[in-house]
Amino acid sequence: MEADELPVDEQLVRVAIYARQIFIHQPNRRFVRVLALAGHHLRLFHFDRSGAQYTPLLDIHEDPHTFVRLVLGLSSPNESDIGLDNSIRWLIINGRKAGGALMTRGTDNNEILYPLLRLEPFFFRSTICGRSTTCWSVFDPETGEELLVKSSWRTEDMISEHVYLQEAAGVAGVVQMVSCEPDRGQTKDLRGFRDTIPTGFQNRVDTRVVIKQYGPPIMEFTSPKQVLCALRDAIAGHMTLVKKGTLHRDVSIRNVVLGKPGAEPGNRGILIDFDMAIHYEAGSANSPADWRIGTRLYQSAMVLSSGGDPHPLPHSHLDDIESFFYVLTDIIHAYDHGGVLQSLGSELKLWNRYDGHLLGELKRAFLIEKPLPKSISSRWPKAFVDVFYAFRDFLRPIALQKLIFTDETPEERAEDLRAFMLSADDHYNFVLRLFDEGIAALAMAEAEELDAASSVCSSVCIPSLVPHI
């Protein structure tokens, strides 16, 4: 690298490519430090979940002591010194990882070592800067129960996910926490900041939670009834949390998972991932919608349109209910009734292409206008499609009313908006009733099919009782 000729911004981009690969291939990395040498000059780059930091250009002839100290520091045998999370321990056989375990806190706050079920995390984010959510599958050495360990780097000003999970203890349809480590370190400490924090620096806090393991994401369903049961129970769990004062704000197809095999009603679908949650009071204007929060394909039309609005409407339970509808919309468009992936229709292709105000308008039009193409509706039982249409009919006047509110000043809409939001029980009960009716209709159809199959089998398979002469 020609450091004297190459601008530092270009050096940073080049080095960041290698740093990102290190993070990807070593998911137990907390930070990466790279020494860039060019001739008799060097620069040290530091990468963590808050971004990058680098030193001025140093001349190794003029400052050989610093050069030696940097090389020794980057060669330290202490794993934590070079950026590795030493709470994850590996069993090495013949130079290769053959197993591993993860040290964290148990329910009694004592250290517990969970054996890893897999050598690689089953989920991780590949970006350098951000939450860097990483999920490991482990099992309890005492009970044998499979658990999930989730590590992430939240921004300092965000309430930790573990707070909402503590409040969700015992709530059906919502992920249950086993234990937590709310502050395992901060990026400001990795950089050696003490009393003075540089302008523009966003400190992040390493948080770890141990949660119960459930089934796969909802898109791995095997029947229409399973979809409705999972969504119904996740919506019911969401309702309970709203009553307790928690709003999820990131309902998506990956944040609704199927319950464990044979799960009882109430836990057939589980709402997970409370990283974006907030404390919420129905009717309050203290939670303005933010189009940057949530997953674009599943955000409500109003949230998508909130960018640039000086007085956006509050993000409410109705926006999350609308997000559940878009999960159903995605499933009905992208799969058939047996869970087989289909080619995506033009409607959702547009949703994947646009964002912001334009996508908000597309979703409003979808709520108001055309029926499903026959090529899509024919893939699903009528009872399932009926739930889709009834859910959309419920949301249509709500979306239009919110559009009216956006044209009013906060003072003009205050009372009407508050009354509108305080009808949460009615909103949830109506939606849950739609799902209950759809589930009952599908169950009845299944029973009729079994009866018909049984009748056919009886007439074909049972030998005649009349003796042969």
Closest CA to 303 of 285, 284, 323: 323
Interval 59-79: pLDDT, tens: 999 999 999 999 999 999 999
Q: Is the pLDDT of residue 161 over 80?
A: yes
Quick one: pLDDT band at residue 149, thresholds 50, 70, 90? very high
Quick one: pLDDT band at residue 457, thresholds 50, 70, 90? low
Q: Is the pLDDT of residue 469 over 50?
A: no
Q: Looking at residue 411, what is its pLDDT? A: 84
How far lies 143's CA from each of 85, 147, 253, in Å? 26, 11, 31
Q: Do domains 87-188+203-213 and 215-469 have the same CATH topology?
A: no
Q: Is the pLDDT of residue 194 over 80?
A: no
Q: Looking at residue 7, what is its pLDDT? A: 85
CATH (one of 3.40.640.10, 1.10.510.10, 3.30.460.20, 3.40.190.10) for 215-469: 1.10.510.10
Separation CA 81–CA 265 (nearest Å): 49
More confident residue, 461 or 361: 361
Q: Looking at residue 460, what is its pLDDT? A: 58
Quick one: pLDDT band at residue 3, thresholds 50, 70, 90? very low
Quick one: pLDDT band at residue 462, thresholds 50, 70, 90? low
Q: Is the pLDDT of residue 1 over 60?
A: no
Secondary structure, 3-state, the chain = CCCCCCCHHHHHHHHHHHHHHHHHHCCCECCEEEEEEECCEEEEEEEECCEEEECCCEECCCCHHHHHHHHHHHCCCCHHHHCECCCEEEEEECCEEEEEEEEEECCCCCEEEEEECCCCCCEECCCCCCCCCEEEEEECCCCCCEEEEEEEEEECCCCCHHHHHHHCCCCCCECCEEEEECCCCEHHHHCCCCCCCCCCCCCEEEEEEEEECCCCEHHHCCCHHHHHHHHHHHHHHHHHHHHHCEECCCCCCCCEEECCCCCCCCCCEEECCCCCCEECCCCCCCCECCCCCCCHHHCCHHHHCCCCCCCCCECCHHHHHHHHHHHHHHHHHHECCCCCECCCCHHHHHHHHCCHHHHHHHHHHHHHCCCCCHHHHCCCCHHHHHHHHHHHHHHHHHHHHHHHHHCCCHHHHHHHHHHHHCCHHHHHHHHHHHHHHHHHHHHHHHHHHHHHHHHHHHHHHCCCCCCCC
Q: Looking at residue 195, what is its pLDDT? A: 73
Separation CA 375–CA 240 (nearest Å): 37
Quick one: pLDDT band at residue 17, thresholds 50, 70, 90? very high
Task: Supply 394's token pair.
Answer: 């419920």
Interval 359-413: pLDDT, tens: 999 999 999 877 888 989 899 999 999 999 999 999 999 999 998 888 888 888 8
Q: Is the pLDDT of residue 466 over 70?
A: no
Q: What is the mean pLDDT of the chain?
A: 91
CATH (one of 3.30.200.20, 3.30.450.20, 3.90.1570.10, 3.40.50.300) for 87-188+203-213: 3.30.200.20
Q: Looking at residue 5, what is its pLDDT? A: 63
Quick one: pLDDT band at residue 150, thresholds 50, 70, 90? very high
Taking the whole predicted model, whether its pTM rises above 0.85 is answered as yes
Phi first, then psi: what are they for 294, rounded to 5°?
115, 180
Domain ranges of the chain: 8-82, 87-188+203-213, 215-469
Quick one: pLDDT band at residue 454, thresholds 50, 70, 90? low
Q: Is the pLDDT of residue 192 over 90?
A: no
Quick one: pLDDT band at residue 92, thresholds 50, 70, 90? very high
Separation CA 280–CA 126 (nearest Å): 31
Q: Looking at residue 167, what is its pLDDT? A: 96
More confident residue, 455 or 230: 230
- Could you give the percent of the chain with pLDDT greater than 70? 94
Least confident of 155-164, 236-245, 370-379: 370-379
Q: Looking at residue 199, what is its pLDDT? A: 84
Q: Looking at residue 463, what is its pLDDT? A: 56
More confident residue, 20 or 350: 20
- Could you give the percent of the chain with pLDDT greater than 90? 73
Quick one: pLDDT band at residue 283, thresholds 50, 70, 90? low
